[in-house]
Structure formats: structure tokens, C-alpha cells
Amino acid sequence: MTSALTSTPSFTVTASRDYDPEVGALPAMSLGSYEIDLPGGEAARRLFAAGARHVTLPRPVDLTDPADAAWSVRALSFVGDLSSVAISVDWQLHTGPDPDAWRHYGHLHPPTAVLGTADPEATAIEWRKAYYICKCVFRHGPGFIQVRDRRYGELRRFTIDEPDYHQAIETLTDGARVDAIPGPILDDLMGESLVFRFGDHLWWTPYRVRRWSEAPMVI
């Protein structure tokens, strides 16, 4: 199945029942390969229900390659969906040379290496030390969407109740082309670092939660 918005074909991941990759490689713990041909949130929930607690992406996510932007936004969204159900992810992210660029993505499960930086493994360790679940999330309420974002050290909270913004966020959930989102809405969301652009594609940064892992005032 191909995404109607990003034109990104399905891809295959490997999954296991244990967070420890070495344990997950044992025959009784491996779940083998899964084709991801559904919306990311549904695919992540199905993997969790099947017993998956660790997933490996098929290849690195290179944010510096505009030609690979469709894969980049699809993969980032899927890593967010996996993070939302506490499934760990074996993946690599190429952000380029900026040593602090990872902070835009620091709410996602930490990668094994942040490629393009002076020390890819050290940058990944810094990310891992700062990571916790629900660092940048959104949830649906009755007639509103609430975003809570702590990627940059303090809580930024947004309550969105305009129907046209709700439609835009629904379109963005698994990644979208730039021309799929009205310009004024896109400018607002990008101005708050809630959307990032890679080539001709857009990534909605928060991942969805359906219940808070702790009291919402803590998160």
C-alpha cells in the first residue's frame, strides 16, 4: 500500500519481544519481519499487541537528503508512534553537522547514532540521557487538540480548537506534502517548531497519546 500523501511505499521492520537486542535475537524472542503498510499509529499498536517491545528500522533516516524526504517524514512519524507505546527502536538519524539539531527530535526514542555530527555515538548518548516518554505529545479532547512540548527545557502548551487546524494535523499525522497544508496554518505550526519541512514534505513533530503516563501537570 502506498501513502496517498507522501507517496512512500510500505517498508519492512524486524521486531522482537524484549527491549534488549541480544535477548530479542534469541529464537523464542524474535517476531521476525513485519511489513508496515498501515498508518503508523495503527501499525505500532498492532506490533505492541503482538508482543513487540523492540523494532529495527530497515535503513537510516537522512534529513540532509531532499530526495529522501518522503521516507524521512514517514520514518520519523513511525518512530514517534512506536515511542508513544514504549516500543524501543533501533535506528540511525542523519541530522548534519549541527551538534544541537537532535533536540528537535529528542522526544523520539534515541537512535543508536546521530550521523553527520563530529561524534555520532556521543551525541546519541546525550540524547539518551535527556530522553523520557511524552516529551512532546498531542492528545484529542472534546473539540480541541492539546500539545505539550518540553523538547527545549520548559513546558510549552498549545490548545488548538480551530477545525481547519484539526484537519491540517490529521493530514500531517504520517507526513504530508507541502501543498497539502494551507500556507497560513503551515506558517503558524512551523513557527512553533511543531512542523518541520524536508524537501517537499512536512513532518508533524508531536506523537499522539491516548492517556498520560503521569499526571499531566508533571508532563
One domain for residues 93 and 146: no
One domain for residues 77 and 106: yes
130, 151, 167 — which closes off a domain? 130
With 0-12 / 13-18 / 19 or more C-beta atoms within 10 angstroms meaning exposed / middle / buried, residue 155 is: exposed
One domain for residues 189 and 100: no
Whether 217 has a pLDDT exceeding 70, the answer reads: no
Residue 63's domain comprises 11-130
Whether 168 has a pLDDT exceeding 70, the answer reads: yes
Quote the number of domains for the chain: 2
Whether 5 has a pLDDT exceeding 80, the answer reads: no
130, 165, 185 — which closes off a domain? 130
Q: Tell me the CA distances in angstroms from 189 to 23, 37, 168, 196, 197, one per residue in order.
A: 41, 27, 10, 9, 11
Asked, for residue 216, whether it belongs to a domain, the answer is: no
Average pLDDT, rounded, for the chain: 91
One domain for residues 108 and 19: yes
85, 114, 130 — which closes off a domain? 130
For position 27, what pLDDT does the model report? Answer: 85
One domain for residues 90 and 146: no
Asked, for residue 87, whether it belongs to a domain, the answer is: yes
One domain for residues 116 and 18: yes
Least confident of 137-141, 184-188, 206-210: 206-210
Residue 218: pLDDT band with limits 50, 70, 90:
very low
For position 1, what pLDDT does the model report? Answer: 31
Whether 195 has a pLDDT exceeding 60, the answer reads: yes
Arithmetic mean of pLDDT, 204-214:
79
Whether 32 has a pLDDT exceeding 60, the answer reads: yes
Q: Tell me the CA distances in angstroms from 160 to 110, 119, 129, 141, 202, one per residue in order.
A: 28, 39, 31, 10, 19
Asked, for residue 213, whether it belongs to a domain, the answer is: no
For position 22, what pLDDT does the model report? Answer: 84
Asked, for residue 197, whether it belongs to a domain, the answer is: yes
One domain for residues 43 and 150: no
Asked, for residue 6, whether it belongs to a domain, the answer is: no
The span from the CA of 42 to the CA of 54, in Å, is: 16
